[in-house]
């Protein structure tokens, strides 16, 4: 039985992970959970899975949780230190990192330094400090298993092959909710419209990232560090059906891909049980029913966030961290009605243009770039709002 911690247990990845745990109680034991603001759902998860310790990012959230969990034998922690403590629990073997945004970096790195294997579901820690995380993982002798459907597909397509034989990685993208919206209409898109993803059920932030294609820009950065492949050999292909989750092209021009219906429980279960596979009770992929799979190139003019992802990698250093922070601020402002959809990419680009990148030789360097970029992007948001 594998003991696991789930960081971000009340989100989409977290709840899907707990669904797998519930289906295979002989395989997994939950020893730790962390959540954002949903103390009600976390309290219910505590009653169902009996973790040793849980954490919330704020003291007020932890206080509410303690009121809900009176009599439950669980340690309730709070703040960044609490999140890191749960991620580092001695009893844990594997940590599912599914905290949304850059907030996942510190506890994920703490888990690695505590010799925990990582099932990485959030892109942002690898975007902010990918080289640092991989170097630390090698030092501690632990592995980082990708949970993102695209990176899991590449991981599976690389199994049994040599990295030196890889010609390029091809990340597929659904194109999000707005792929067919004319460019001149994008500035008037509402949050409600942008959240209508055609294939996946995800949280608000990642769904907006999918609509801007920033999700794919972040994935390009993540793939560079996960698989040690330069950005010049990472391509993106729009595949609206979300059936082929990504591909690897080898030097002999053969391609290997992973296919499946869009359900996150498949890549989650593979990361949890690697190298074994769990017999999931999910529908089988019927290609005769689907009939046709379509592909096209991404439109960098209408969706510049993908271009910015590549640009951040070419510049290097703390630029990806700054880009990610600016994106988080801009997406939050858009969801709250403070800026237009097209302002998101403008804010990211303006922040990147004024950022002076530094080498990421420490966690502090990544966090400082994140702090600076959030302040800069926030000032741009307020200027637009006025």
| Torsion of the alpha carbons at 346, 123, 211 and 249, rounded to the nearest 10 | 110
Q: Which among 113, 319, 305, 78 has a CA at the least distance from the CA of 213?
A: 305
For a pLDDT cut of 90, what percent of the chain falls above it?
90
Position 200 scores a pLDDT of 67
Query: Where in the chain are the domains?
Result: 2-146
For 198-233, write each residue's pLDDT tens digit: 776 778 888 999 999 999 999 999 999 999 999 999
What are the tens digits of pLDDT across the range 91-133? Answer: 999 999 999 888 899 999 999 999 999 999 989 999 999 999 9
Pairing, β 75-78 against β 166-173: unpaired
Question: What is the pLDDT at residue 197?
Answer: 78
Res 203: pLDDT:
80
Q: Are 233 and 163 in contact (CB under 8 A)?
A: no
Looking at residue 101, its pLDDT comes to: 87
Residues of the chain with pLDDT below 50 are: none
pLDDT of residue 332: 96
CA dist list (Å): 9 to 2, 145, 291, 379: 17, 18, 36, 32
Summary mean pLDDT of the chain: 95
In the CATH hierarchy, which fold is given to the domain comprising 2-146?
A: Rossmann fold (3.40.50)
């Amino acid at each position: 039985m594998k003991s696991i911690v789930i960081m971000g247990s009340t989100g989409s990845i977290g709840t899907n992970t707990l669904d797998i745990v519930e289906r295979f109680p002989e395989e997994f034991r939950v020893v730790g959970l962390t959540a954002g603001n949903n103390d009600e759902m976390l309290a219910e998860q505590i009653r169902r899975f009996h973790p040793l310790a849980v954490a919330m990012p704020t003291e007020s959230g932890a206080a509410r949780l303690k009121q809900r969990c009176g009599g439950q034998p669980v340690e309730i922690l709070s703040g960044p230190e609490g999140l890191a403590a749960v991620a580092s629990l001695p009893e844990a073997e594997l940590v599912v990192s599914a905290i949304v945004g850059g907030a996942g970096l510190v506890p994920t790195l703490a888990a690695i330094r505590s010799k925990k294997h990582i099932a990485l579901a959030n892109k942002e820690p690898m975007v902010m400090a990918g080289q640092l995380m991989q170097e630390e993982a090698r030092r501690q002798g632990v592995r980082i298993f990708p949970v993102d459907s695209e990176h899991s597909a590449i991981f599976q397509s690389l199994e049994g092959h040599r990295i030196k034989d890889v010609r390029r990685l091809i990340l597929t993208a659904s194109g999000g909710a707005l792929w067919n919206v004319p460019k001149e209409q994008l500035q008037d898109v509402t949050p409600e419209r942008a959240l209508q993803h055609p294939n996946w059920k995800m949280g608000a932030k990642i769904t907006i990232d999918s609509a801007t294609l920033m999700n794919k820009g972040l994935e390009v950065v993540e793939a560079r560090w996960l698989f040690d492949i330069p950005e010049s050999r990472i391509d993106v292909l729009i595949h609206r059906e979300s059936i082929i989750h990504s591909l690897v092209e080898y030097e002999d021009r053969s391609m290997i891909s992973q296919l499946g219906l869009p359900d996150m429980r498949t890549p989650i279960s593979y990361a949890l049980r690697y190298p074994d596979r769990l017999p999931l009770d999910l529908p089988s992929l019927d290609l005769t029913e689907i009939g046709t799979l379509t592909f096209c190139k991404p439109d960098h003019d209408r969706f510049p966030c993908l271009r910015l992802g590549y640009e951040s990698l070419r510049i290097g250093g703390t630029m990806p961290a700054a880009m990610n922070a600016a994106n988080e601020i801009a997406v939050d402002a858009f969801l709250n009605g403070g800026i237009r959809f097209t302002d998101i990419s403008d804010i990211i680009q303006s922040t990147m243009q004024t950022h002076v990148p530094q080498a990421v030789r420490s966690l502090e360097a990544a966090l400082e770039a994140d702090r600076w970029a959030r302040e800069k992007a926030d000032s741009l948001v307020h200027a637009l709002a006025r």
